[in-house]
Chain A
């Protein structure tokens, strides 16, 4: 099984709807990162969360970290076609390595 599990694996929403993507770690988190990727391209850094209870927002995207549950959620409000892509969570490990979840593919229907 994956050290970082993302759910759902894919999501199709109507433009204007809200959505949430979850990322759960099976091991202690040393920082949680959210990235967005257009198919076949590089990753775009969205947010980094380091402390339990931390919440960050950028435009219509909000990410929260629940350190006790070893879980993070990414919430998009009033989705737009520009939000479509693959969302990946990444987590730091005490080895210094960064590992990633399998990604959540988001489609936004106009």
Chain B
């Protein structure tokens, strides 16, 4: 089975712009979770989608949003980028949900200048 894929792998954006990141889960997995990883804050949970519905949400501002499509692929959007949004964004898929083992993609490295 192919693993979790994320596109793009690297991205450079300017403050104030918006960005969309994409995640394709492992075939058959219905849950996709998104995380932000920074040196200062570590790995922090953004949100989880299951069957096209947001099931859990972390403590991030409304500029961070996501969605899931009927084929379980997910996108994450960040509007009005700030310098502090520079991070590695990881998505993980699970057959049932975030309370089970998750399989992570390679991440998207976002740099905001």
Contact = CB atoms under 8 A, between A and B. Distances in A.
Q: Do A and B bind each other?
A: yes
Interface of A: 2, 30-31, 33, 35, 40-45, 48, 88, 90, 92, 95-103
Interface residues of B, number: 26
Nearest to B47: A97
B97 A96 contact: yes
Given A96-B98, A98-B33, A43 B90 contact: yes
Contact of A42 (B58, B99, B100, B106): B106
Interface of B is mostly: strand
Given A45-B102, A45-B103, A95 B90 contact: no
B45 interface: yes
Contact of B107 (A33, A42, A88): A42
Contacts of A100: 35, 42-44
Given A40-B109, A45-B102, A96 B55 contact: yes
Interface of B: 4, 33, 35, 42-45, 48, 55-56, 58, 88, 90, 92, 97-107, 109
Contact of A43 (B55, B98, B99, B104): B104
Closest 5 CB pairs of A and B: A42-B104, A43-B104, A100-B43, A42-B106, A92-B99
Contacts of B98: 92, 96-98
